[in-house]
Amino acid sequence: MEPVRRRRAVLHEARCQTCSLSSLCLPLSLEMEDMDQFDAIIRRRAPLKKGEHLFRQGDDFTSVYAVRSGSLKQITSEGAGVDQLTNFYLPSELVGLDAIDERHYPGSVIALETTTVCEIPFDRLDQLSEKLPELRNQLYRSMSKELRDDRRMMRLLSRKTADQRLASFLVKLSDRFRRRGYSPYSFRLSMPRADIGSYLGLAVETVSRIVSRFQAQEILAVSGREVQILNMAKLQQFAEEEDVS
């Protein structure tokens, strides 16, 4: 979905000040001059191709990453068990905040499509956050937001039915697209059904069945990974409705 441009030319575009995501990303509240300082610690990385690892579970923690384009998934394997998909990352979101404490990444992060990221070495970020209260604050906020999202996810996993989970997932995704300037009603899923299932704690078959059912109910129109939301109200209703038993 994302055009792969040759890099030389892109490099100057890769500055925070000209980045279209600057209103969502970490430096969002910085003044111009502060942003320059922030910009200076960023390392640009070659785009990841679909399926490539940004890092692997257990790798030494050195940096957090801001997604510039594309999308990634985080996968955690524990013991002899099946892998669990613990997060999807879209542009402007920060990857790796859960590794600060233990100094290695608690899960592997893999590109779902061609993806570019900005690498932010954490020790430099920490230093800079000392000088720039706005940056520090933004960092606290990012982590706090992730905590809140996690709680919402726990709620989903422990209390919602399969229908409600998928509805919630789609509503949330739609909202994230909207915030990024894309259509909230028509988008492409970059992940296979199996990943959605793993994320939502459902079997692939269940995901598939519910997608079909939502189509039958004319809530969605789906063709492969292309999704159209036909009845957002209904979908939201599904998503929010709890077991009103």
Partner DNA sequence: CGTTATCTTGAACCTTGTCAACACTCGTGG
Partner DNA sequence: CCACGAGTGTTGACAAGGTTCAAGATAACG
Give the H or E element holding residue 213.
helix 204-216
> From the CA atom positions of the chain, what is the Rg in Å?
19
Using CB under 8 A as the criterion, what x/- string covers residues 95-114 for binding its own copies? Answer: --xxxxxx---xx-------
| Rounded Cα–Cα distance for residues 156 and 134 (Å) | 33
Interface residues toward DNA, by CB under 7 A: 161-163, 192-194, 201-209, 211-212, 222-225, 243, 245
Residues that bind its own copies (rule: CB under 8 A) add up to a total of: 49
7: amino acid identity, one letter = R
54's CB contacts (< 8 A; 6+ apart) are: 48, 65, 72, 95, 109, 110, 111, 117
* CB of 32 or CB of 82, closer to its own copies: 82
Strand-pair partners of 110: 53, 73
* CB of 184 or CB of 201, closer to its own copies: 201
**Considering the rule CB under 8 A, would residue 79 count as an interface residue with its own copies?**
yes
From DNA, its own copies, none, which one binds at residue 205 (CB under 5 to 8 Å depending on kind)? DNA
**Considering the rule CB under 8 A, would residue 78 count as an interface residue with its own copies?**
yes
What's the token pair of residue 51?
């399926």
Residues 111-150 that bind its own copies (CB under 8 A): 126, 129-130, 133, 136-137, 139-148, 150
* Beta carbons within 10 angstroms of residue 166's beta carbon: 26
| Rounded Cα–Cα distance for residues 44 and 175 (Å) | 28
Contact residues for its own copies (CB under 8 A)?
A: 76, 78-82, 84, 86-87, 97-102, 106-107, 126, 129-130, 133, 136-137, 139-148, 150-155, 157-159, 200-201, 240-244
